[in-house]
């Protein structure tokens, strides 16, 4: 399965023609999906550990997975099931909420810069700087000229990151309005899920069309060669998890991190240990 | 298996009489250890999600797992195998290195306070404020009176945390000098492990006896009722991982976090969704 088939082509974006419930490139259903994801674990872990090990050599390479999508599209589930396959020591997750008063007093990228992964890490953004051209635009929380400027600022920012060793993997979790309705109803039917429900989610849902248009603009404007968008069909959770796992794997393979050579004399150190004064 | 049998009794500590390679309370060997650990995953995840959900109710409860131990004792392996069983979204890991210049200009607990888990999280410290009474004491990096004062400061700090909803789980990963030697040699035999080796590890190893004495003092002085120490036999990696998994589980069970009730009218929200103007 090549996850790259979900790479968004350049040009105008029409989300209504991109399926939400297809499972292209995968021969199998839900039953095969979970083991297929689990099967990525070993290679993901190995590549992640190499990337982690590389830190010691002064490498600045790292990965930043950006997860965007409407409520219930499965950002949390992706963290648990896909990101959860990796060693938590090398993963840095940041969930962006409505900005605090302090964050609001800074440029919108200020808090984003603070949350960037250090070299060797896999950073994950659960929501991101894209909220500043999505919810902000839909609700008119900034002047139109400000939002307009932000697309270019985002592109410049991401180019800067790429030049500094950050591999960006930007995923839009694409769910249908019908699937969102099912998921919201499920939260209302199970007392163990009440905590996930917020009446505001229905208010946002009423602006579904506006959000779609706004996503389309954001995707088109920021779908750069260096930081392209992937639109991941997300009506089937198992497929969404698998595609994002494959995307991480493909990008880590392309990075091809190497075990660093010894920066000391291996034989001399071995001798030191073998000939030590007994320690206890 | 009750992990509580590793709880350190009050009073003077003699690490030489605490076994490093026993597997008390577990009927089985390495082959049974990994599945026994995996079997904890579902309940750990469930309890972790309840704790996470509780945040929304204003609960301040959270867990802080403190991992201390000599080089190669397996702090990293515990993160990967045991902490890795949980949802990474609700886990906050901090690895403490030698303090930076800025950190040195502050009280030793300053950087520790900055790294505390927020309510709902499972925080994990890979090394901790205990370094300030361990390596610092062994190397004379602070005045003796300063170190002396720190035991009390740590106890006061941990009491403050406990009163603020933090459940402390302090684990000393207890390995033998012989096992450390094997692990260091293994790092020198496998080019994929060179990066984990640092010649300074052997220098530290030469002070094994001093470290043991210093650990004993620290353990005795900070083994409080509210934040007791667990000394985890760690020569067998699978047993160490399992014991720490059990300790997390036992403490989460005792916390017994509950799914929060709905703070909205469930039926009214369901009606809103069922009667909505079609959305697409």
- In A, minimum Cα distance to B207 occurs at A279
**Which pLDDT tens digits describe chain A residue by residue (280 residues)?**
666 899 999 999 999 999 999 999 999 999 999 999 999 999 999 999 999 999 989 999 999 999 999 999 999 999 999 999 999 999 999 999 999 999 999 999 999 999 999 999 999 999 999 999 999 999 999 999 999 999 999 999 999 999 999 999 999 999 999 999 999 999 999 999 999 999 999 999 999 999 999 999 999 999 999 999 999 999 999 999 999 999 999 999 999 999 999 999 999 999 999 999 888 7
What's phi and psi for B272, nearest 5 deg? -55, -45
> Measured between alpha carbons, how far is B3 from B244 in angstroms, rounded to an integer?
8
Distance from CA of A190 to the nearest CA of B (A): 10
Element (H, E) at B180: helix B177-189
pLDDT in tens, B221-276: 999 999 999 999 999 999 999 999 999 999 999 999 999 999 999 999 999 999 99
Does the pTM exceed 0.95?
yes
B273 touches chain A (CB under 8 A): yes
| 8-state DSSP, A98 | S
pLDDT at residue B3 tops 80: no
Q: Do A195 and B126 touch (CB under 8 A)?
A: no
pLDDT of residue A119: 98
Distance of CA B4 to the CA centre of its chain: 15
Residues of B in contact with A197 (CB under 8 A): 262, 264, 269
Q: What is the mean pLDDT of chain B?
A: 96
Q: Do A262 and B197 touch (CB under 8 A)?
A: yes
Distance from CA of A208 to the nearest CA of B (A): 6
What tokens were used for B11?
């009073």
Please name the residues between 158 and 187 in chain B that touch chain A, using a CB distance below 8 Å.
Answer: 177, 181, 184-185
Per the listing, tokens 């009446």 go with A199
pLDDT of residue A1: 65
Q: Do B184 and A89 touch (CB under 8 A)?
A: no
What tokens were used for B212?
């043991």
**Interface pTM, i.e. ipTM:** 0.95
pLDDT at residue B80 tops 70: yes
DSSP for A19-76, please give it: -SS--TT--S-HHHHHHHHHTTHHHHHHHHHHHHHHGGGT---EEEEEEEESTTSSHH
Distance from CA of A100 to the nearest CA of B (A): 16
Among B231, B223, B220, B192, smallest CA distance to B70 is for: B231
B83 touches chain A (CB under 8 A): yes
Please name the residues between 35 and 64 in chain B that touch chain A, using a CB distance below 8 Å.
Answer: 53, 56
- In A, minimum Cα distance to B199 occurs at A269
> Measured between alpha carbons, how far is B189 from B181 in angstroms, rounded to an integer?
12
What tokens were used for B26?
């577990």
pLDDT in tens, B142-174: 999 999 999 999 999 999 999 999 999 999 999
A76 touches chain B (CB under 8 A): yes
B140 touches chain A (CB under 8 A): no
pLDDT of residue A8: 97
Q: Do B80 and A87 touch (CB under 8 A)?
A: yes
Work out the angle at residue A125's Cα, subtended by the Cα atoms of residues B280 and A128, and round it to the nearest 5 degrees. Answer: 60
pLDDT in tens, A186-225: 999 999 999 999 999 999 999 999 999 999 999 999 999 9
CB-facing half-sphere around the CA of B4: CA atoms within 13 A: 5
Best residue of A14, A72, A87 to probe chain B, by most B CBs closer than 10 Å: A87
E-strand spans in chain B? 62-69, 91-95, 122-126, 166-174, 229-233
- Per-residue CA distances from A215 to A23, A93, A219, B130, B270 (Å): 22, 23, 6, 49, 27
Distance from CA of A259 to the nearest CA of B (A): 6
- Asked whether the beta carbons of B92 and B63 are under 8 A apart, the reply is no
Q: Do B262 and A194 touch (CB under 8 A)?
A: yes
pLDDT of residue A4: 81
Distance from CA of B177 to the nearest CA of A (A): 6
A68 Cβ contact list (under 8 Å, min separation 6): A75, A127, A128, A130, A134, A170, A171, A172, A173, A215
- Asked whether the beta carbons of B147 and B137 are under 8 A apart, the reply is yes
Q: Do B194 and A260 touch (CB under 8 A)?
A: yes
Residues of A in contact with B74 (CB under 8 A): none
Q: Do A279 and B209 touch (CB under 8 A)?
A: yes
């Amino acid at each position: 399965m090549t996850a790259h088939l979900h790479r968004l082509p350049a040009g105008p974006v029409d989300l209504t023609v991109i399926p939400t419930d297809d499972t292209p490139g995968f021969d199998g259903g839900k039953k095969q999906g979970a083991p297929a994801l689990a099967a990525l674990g070993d290679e993901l872990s190995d590549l992640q550990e190499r990337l982690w090990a590389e830190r010691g050599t002064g490498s600045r390479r790292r990965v930043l997975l950006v997860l965007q999508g409407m409520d219930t599209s499965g950002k949390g589930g992706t963290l648990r099931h896909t990101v959860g396959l990796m060693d938590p020591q090398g993963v840095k997750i940041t969930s962006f909420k409505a900005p605090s008063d302090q964050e609001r007093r800074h440029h919108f990228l200020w808090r984003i810069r603070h949350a960037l992964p250090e070299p060797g890490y896999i950073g994950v953004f659960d929501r991101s700087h894209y909220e500043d051209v999505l919810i902000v635009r839909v609700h008119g929380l900034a002047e139109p000229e400000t939002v307009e400027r932000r697309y270019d600022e985002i592109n410049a920012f991401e180019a800067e990151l790429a030049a500094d060793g950050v591999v960006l993997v930007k995923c839009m979790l694409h769910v249908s309005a019908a699937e969102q309705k099912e998921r919201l109803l499920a939260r209302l039917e199970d007392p163990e899920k009440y905590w996930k429900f917020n009446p505001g989610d229905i208010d946002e849902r009423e602006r579904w069309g506006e959000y779609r248009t706004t996503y389309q603009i954001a995707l088109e404007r920021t779908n750069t060669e260096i930081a392209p968008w992937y639109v991941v069909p997300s009506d089937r959770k198992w497929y969404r998890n698998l595609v994002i796992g494959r995307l991480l794997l493909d990008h880590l393979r392309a990075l091809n991190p190497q075990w660093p050579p010894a920066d000391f004399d291996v034989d001399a150190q071995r001798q030191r240990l073998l000939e030590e004064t007994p320690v206890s």
